[in-house]
Amino acid sequence: MAKIAVFASGNGSNFEAIVNNYGQVSLLVCDNPDAYVLKRAEKSQIDTFVFSPRNYKSKLEYEEEILKKLEEYQVDYLVLAGYMRLIGSTLLTAYANRIINIHPSLLPAFPGKDAILQAFEYGVKVTGVTVHFVDEGLDSGPIIYQEPVIVDDNDTYEAVEEKIHTLEHRIYPIIVQALVNKDFVLEGGKVKWVRRMG
């Protein structure tokens, strides 16, 4: 059975959705000792590796420690769920084509932080969620799956946020399952689904 590690920095609602609807999370990696996701991990009795980047000289140094932990737990795939840091060459090399991320917009529109707010303030009528393979860029890499969310004229920012999060929690566990099932493959830098999702 394939083993996954989830990487998160904050609230951890996607982490919890994966734990409840996919299961079998071997390790949570967290770069913020105060993050609420750690409470969720404790409740679900999931092992954690917590670190503070400022205690290290470089990304190289802390990613080498993360890698040691991942090897100790024999982790096969890395699932980023609100991990607000770029993945460096250490992990990208060790886990080539085995790292995915979820982002709350229809990429390549609105990468980076506060994507839901960026889209709402722009006045888009359609936004959505993207799951993609991770490369060295910011919210870039081959797209695995996207689903749109309609922004109604009367929607508040909070209403849009709620729609996006509900969608994320529904689809991410399904995509994680599809990842470990090898239901999609990378071909010429693009994702091809070899079996129907879900």
CB 112, min distance to ligand GAR, A: 6
Q: Which stretch binds ligand GAR (CB under 6 A): 22-30, 63-71, 96-104, 141-149?
A: 96-104
**129-188 binders of ligand GAR (CB under 6 A):** 139, 168
| Amino acid code (one letter) for 105 | S
Say which DSSP state 28 is in. E
Least separation in angstroms between residue 194's CB and ligand GAR is: 26
Query: In this structure, are residues 103 and 82 in contact, taking their beta carbons and an 8 Å threshold?
Result: no
Least distance in Å: CB of 58 to ligand GAR?
22
Q: From the CB of 57, what's the least distance to ligand GAR, in Å?
A: 25
Q: In the annotation, is 165 catalytic? A: no
Locate 191 and state its tokens.
Answer: 């994702």
Q: Which is nearer to ligand GAR, 15 or 184 (CB)?
A: 15
Q: For every residue of 129-175, which 3-state class applies, written as one string?
A: EEEEECCCCCCCCCEEEEEEEECCCCCCHHHHHHHHHHHHHHHHHHH
**165 C-beta neighbours (distance < 10 Å), count:** 17
Pull the structure tokens for residue 167.
């969608």
Three-state secondary structure call for residue 29:
strand
19-27, 64-72, 98-106, 186-194 -> range binding ligand GAR (CB under 6 A): 98-106
Q: Among residue numbers 108 through 127, which ones bind ligand GAR (CB under 6 A)?
A: 115
Burial class (CB in 10 A: 0-12, 13-18, 19+), 56: middle
Nearer to ligand GAR, 10 or 88 (CB): 10
Contact residues for ligand GAR, defined by CB under 6 A: 8, 10-14, 81-82, 102-104, 115, 139, 168
For the annotated catalytic residues, the residue numbers are: 103
